[in-house]
A and B are shown apart, each in its own frame.
Chain A
């Protein structure tokens, strides 16, 4: 538990969003808001520290462990600090058929990191993910809400250069 929970707080706009989310569910079912609220939290802090998870537990009137067990189950939640851009690279079959492994090798070389790593400048974190439901446009990776599709080594170079500016 955090000793000074006031250090962690949603911005007023995000707090409004969170209240709107909680209001979607029937009375007493506010725990249903947990996944969406954790997405909002991650949007604000980039990752979910135990202080942030405790804060969310307080908002939803649930036990902190109920937040931890959920945050650690679902792969989209980052439980460690991440870089500015988190590249979530699809490693599943259909993307591999389209050359996904070769492009991935190139991407790792370009960034100089392996899966789970963050570049020294803190710009990029690389994560391997499973199928992103975009198999017809593979190879694919995602950065936040943006899908990057039909990837080639050249495209990867361009994307990384654009995001490094």
Chain B
């Protein structure tokens, strides 16, 4: 069995309560950090661990902490991004629901490291039941002296606030999240200034993903070097993968970074393989926004090497033949899936979720959705394929926030790897619009 950092105790009955969590060694990392370490030493362990932002960007967390401005007399804030909304991603939902104290403990350690006395956990509003679980856990931790005034007699004060969102994917973008937390529409801010200098209430702010922060108790208990010893190269530690789609065992799995894609997909410890009687067609490895890969580029890279579950190996080959680890939203498609329909579906999502500030994204996502809709429904023309590529290129890189890129990549990659299927939809509109029809090269299923 692979090493577990986040989920080792997740199935212990009652682990959502303070007492059971404490019996499993919970909150010892808070004691260690606050009683025996300086904030700078905690930051140093985070840097040594090499843990990278688990929300999707993959930026080293310790380095991000290092950018935090510390002007005299100005409060600093830590905000946890629990707005998990990337299609295919449900790991933070699972972690917070099952073992809320792991996040609370990480928040205390991280807030101490950053010198924040008020920290926020911004949870997507649809997860109101999870918010109640977190609030209960916070009340328990406070009753035990791990939150509030003078934590463990150290003189350090911390209040934790759980903030519900209102149903907007864009608020997963860190500056949109801060706008939302200030009670406004979730419009991403222009950068610079970065949140590390001017974030929440124009004060220095760090925004980190749930999973990133949840790693902190293990890192403090075992040391950043021990964490960095897990994994391969710059992909250190473990990663939660949300597995969905046409597999035997959908769910949330913790992997050591570096396990092969083949093992993750096919072994009984993880996905258990493609559902019976079917075979692999495509994979979205890191949430809906990363490039989709065809079957021949999933377990092997274009160079013929084993593809591994690491930031580097998944992106091997660039966007021509690779993809990204992203948020770890691992969506598996078997031969019954229609790539055109799925691409249209994802485009509709991004059009719906575009905040509307930047014209390329506001207009472009709508155009892509419309063009894909007409191809899927048998009204496309050959020109539409190039038109889609053209629109995607004009969105990419031309927007304030990465939602534009996230909308462009799935379309561009689907056409790159599955152009035949788009062409078939255009040249065979009647067959393509028959119920359940799916293009399979020479054969047509359905």
Contacts and interface: CB of A to CB of B under 8 A. Distances in A.
A138 interface: yes
A94 B166 contact: no
Contacts of B181: 32
Interface of B: 75, 84-90, 92-93, 118, 124-129, 132, 159, 161, 163-169, 180-186, 201, 242-246, 250-252, 288, 329, 331, 333, 337, 341-342, 345-346, 349, 352-353, 355
B244 A138 contact: yes
15 contacts: A35-B125, A39-B166, A69-B185, A73-B168, A75-B168, A92-B87, A92-B345, A93-B87, A94-B245, A96-B342, A130-B349, A130-B353, A134-B90, A136-B252, A146-B129
Interface of A: 24-26, 29, 31-36, 38-39, 60, 62, 66, 69-70, 73-77, 88, 91-94, 96-98, 129-138, 142, 144-147
A9 to B, nearest CB: 21
A70 B85 CA distance: 19
Contacts of A138: 244
A130 B345 CA distance: 10
A101 to B, nearest CB: 9
Contacts of A39: 125, 128, 164, 166
Contacts of B180: 35
Nearest to A147: B129
Given A26-B118, A74-B168, A93-B346, A136 B183 contact: no
Contacts, number: 145
B183 A97 contact: no
Contacts of B85: 130-131, 133
B126 A76 contact: yes
Contact of A135 (B201, B329, B355): B329
A77 B129 contact: no
Contacts of A36: 163-164
Nearest to B251: A136
Contacts of A76: 125-126, 166-167
A135 B244 contact: yes
Contacts of A93: 87-88, 288, 331, 342, 345-346, 349
A134 to B, nearest CB: 6
B169 A130 contact: yes
A79 B166 CA distance: 13
B419 to A, nearest CB: 20
Contacts of A145: 128-129, 132
Nearest to B342: A93
A97 B245 CA distance: 6
Q: Across the A-B interface, give the 8 residue pairs with the lowest CB-CB distance, nearest first.
A: A74-B166, A34-B183, A76-B167, A31-B183, A136-B250, A135-B244, A75-B167, A73-B185
Nearest to A30: B183
Given A34-B183, A39-B125, A39-B128, A129 B201 contact: no
A137 B250 contact: yes
Given A39-B128, A92-B349, A135 B118 contact: no
A35 B244 contact: no
Given A93-B88, A134-B93, 12 more contacts: A34-B183, A35-B164, A39-B166, A70-B185, A74-B125, A93-B342, A97-B337, A130-B85, A135-B90, A136-B244, A136-B251, A144-B128
